[in-house]
Amino acid sequence: EPLGGGGHQPLHRDLSAQRPGDRVNALAYLDDYGPANGATRIVPGSHRPEPQATSLDIDDTGECVQLSGCAGDILVFDVDLVHAGSLNLSGARRRTLLISYCAQTLYASEGQTAPLRGVRMDTREHFQPSDFAYSLRPVSGVDKPPSRYQHSGFSENDSEAR
């Protein structure tokens, strides 16, 4: 959450060595976004350049489009899309959740390169659905929920339709 006068990033790609579509990011907006609080700017189509296209000058901001969004909106984009955060002129909050998705074939390299990206936690190690699915423990003074909320008994490895 950059303060007023902060948050400017140079245009960049998050990862340019993969094929388009192998990895995408999602920005889930927790606050409204717009030019005043430094919304994300993108270069449309930069993730899929034409074969004869000249190299993109990431210092040239002429092709940039600054996005606006409302709290609750989600922006999903290929990591090869040239993008950046903008200067927060107003000091208003612009909190987001950054969620990264990759093709299963990239899981091993994702784990090996995590320290390079500053990733502090692998959520697969901490948030197993089977560990948290309707864990019903009696709480003093609280009635037990209706039986329809009981754990179904399925595990992640079950191939049955749920």
Buried b (16+ CB within 10 A) or exposed e, 31-70: ebbbebbbbbbbbeebbeeeeeeeeeeeeeeeebeebebe
Rounded CA-CA distance 116/109 in Å is 11
pLDDT at 118: 58
Domain that holds residue 76: 23-148
The helix/strand/coil state of 144 is coil
* Total domains present in the chain: 1
pLDDT at 21: 64
pLDDT at 89: 93
- Give domain status of residue 2, yes or no: no
Instruction: Residue 73: name the closest of 43, 34, 45 by CA.
Output: 34
- Give domain status of residue 6, yes or no: no
pLDDT at 60: 67
- Give domain status of residue 130, yes or no: yes
| Average pLDDT of adjacent 10-residue blocks, the chain of 162 residues | 78 70 87 93 84 67 88 93 90 88 74 61 45 45 44 43 40
pLDDT at 54: 64
- Give domain status of residue 4, yes or no: no
pLDDT at 115: 66
For the beta carbon of residue 19, count every other beta carbon within 10 angstroms.
9
pLDDT at 59: 67
pLDDT at 48: 77
Three-class SS of 23-75: EEEEEEECCCECHHHCCCEECCCCCCCCCCCCCCCCCCCCCCEECCECCCCEE
Rounded CA-CA distance 46/57 in Å is 11
- Give domain status of residue 127, yes or no: yes
- Give domain status of residue 116, yes or no: yes
- Give domain status of residue 90, yes or no: yes
Q: What is the pTM of this model?
A: 0.62
- Give domain status of residue 121, yes or no: yes
